[in-house]
């Protein structure tokens, strides 16, 4: 199984926590590709961790200058753009699963990883059911992609690499950023949806990109079915979206204890 991350030195511990959760809940062999602007300072820690759990670590250094004109903030560093052109840096493999570093994988990944993507470029989840009905048409107008079925979260992306290599071009991405810079609220996610949203296979977020902030809404939407017990038994990817993060001491979300348990085990 090929897994992809794009991180800087600020979230190494979080990525290791994600990897640990994967290893504990998914059997198999793992190749871990990590896109980074400069060689991470904690390379030994990452390598030692991967050796310990039987994963193969593949650091990939990306020229950050390519994204010098892209919108960049403290919350959205240059590394978030790397996944848009990840296919240019990866070896000749057919698929890879990208994950944000604020994720726990609490059940088996194989069903997601082995999806038949057909002619789609990616598989991703939408959180549209958790937001206002006005959000979807607004995003279509804002991003200019009226053919897209939904607005997709880019924190979990299954890549169909042969199709992506044929379709996704740096020139198109940079031109789109330049033309739409003032309307890009969630920069790389907006680019992904604006250019390629109509070529994304929709997967259920309650299984593969459960927004940990929205437990009460999932409970309501699922008519009480998607409660804590259901999540533990069925949800594969638990995503801690937003500014509040479970590794912070003041985090009080429902899954705080679960995250801290995995982080403790990962960093032992």
pLDDT tens string 174-214: 888 888 877 778 778 888 999 999 999 999 999 999 999 99
CA neighbor of 189 nearest in space, from 112, 98, 80 = 80
Could you give the 3-state DSSP secondary structure of residue 257? helix
The pLDDT assigned to 7 comes to 93
Alpha helices in the chain (DSSP H): 12-25, 43-53, 110-113, 135-143, 161-167, 170-180, 187-196, 205-208, 215-221, 228-234, 256-266
Contacts of 41 (CB under 8 A, 6+ apart): 9
The pLDDT assigned to 134 comes to 46
The pLDDT assigned to 146 comes to 42
- Six-digit token string for 129: 């059911």
| DSSP bridge partners of 158 | 97, 123
* Residue 54: CATH number of its domain: 3.90.550.10
How many Cβ atoms sit within 10 Å of the Cβ of residue 219? 16
Q: Evaluate whether 239 touches 126 at the Cβ level (below 8 Å).
A: no
The total domain count for the chain is 1
Q: What share of the chain is helix, strand, coil (3-state, %, to 5)?
A: 45, 20, 35
Which residues of the chain have a pLDDT value below 70?
Answer: 75-76, 129-149
The pLDDT assigned to 265 comes to 97
Model pTM score: 0.91
Cα angle at 162 between 37 and 89, to 5 degrees?
15
The pLDDT assigned to 136 comes to 59
- Six-digit token string for 239: 């995503």
Q: Which domain holds residue 216?
A: 2-266
What's the rounded Cα separation, in Å, for the pair 81 and 252?
30
Q: Output b/e per residue, 241-266; b: 16+ Cβ within 10 A.
A: beeebbeeeeeebebbebbeebbeeb
Kindly list the distances between the CA atom of residue 3 and the CA atoms of 67, 142, 191, in Å, as whole numbers in the listed order: 23, 31, 22
- Six-digit token string for 26: 């998914």
């Amino acid at each position: 199984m090929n897994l992809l991350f794009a991180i800087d030195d600020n979230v190494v511990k979080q990525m290791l926590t994600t990897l640990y959760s994967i290893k504990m809940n998914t059997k198999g062999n793992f190749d871990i590709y990590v896109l980074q602007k400069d060689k991470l300072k904690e390379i030994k820690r990452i390598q030692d961790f991967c050796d310990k759990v039987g994963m193969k670590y593949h650091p990939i250094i990306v020229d950050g200058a390519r994204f010098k004109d892209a919108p960049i903030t403290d919350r959205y560093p240059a590394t978030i753009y790397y996944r848009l052109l990840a296919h240019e840096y990866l070896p000749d493999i057919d698929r890879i699963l990208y994950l944000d570093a604020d994720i726990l994988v609490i059940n088996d990944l194989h069903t997601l990883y082995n999806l038949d993507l057909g002619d789609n470029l990616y598989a991703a989840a939408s959180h549209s059911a958790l937001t206002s009905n006005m959000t979807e048409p607004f995003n279509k107008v804002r991003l200019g992609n009226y053919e897209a079925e939904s607005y997709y979260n880019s924190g979990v992306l299954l890549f169909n690499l042969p199709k992506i290599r044929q379709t996704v071009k740096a020139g198109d991405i940079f031109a789109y950023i330049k033309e739409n810079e003032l309307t890009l609220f969630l920069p790389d996610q907006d680019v992904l949806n604006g250019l390629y949203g109509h070529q994304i296979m929709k997967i259920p977020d309650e299984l593969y990109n459960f927004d940990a902030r929205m437990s009460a809404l999932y409970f309501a939407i699922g008519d009480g079915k998607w409660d804590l017990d259901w999540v533990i038994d069925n949800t594969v990817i638990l995503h801690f979206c937003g500014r509040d993060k479970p590794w912070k001491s003041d985090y009080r979300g429902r899954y705080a204890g679960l995250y801290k348990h995995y982080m403790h085990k990962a960093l032992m």
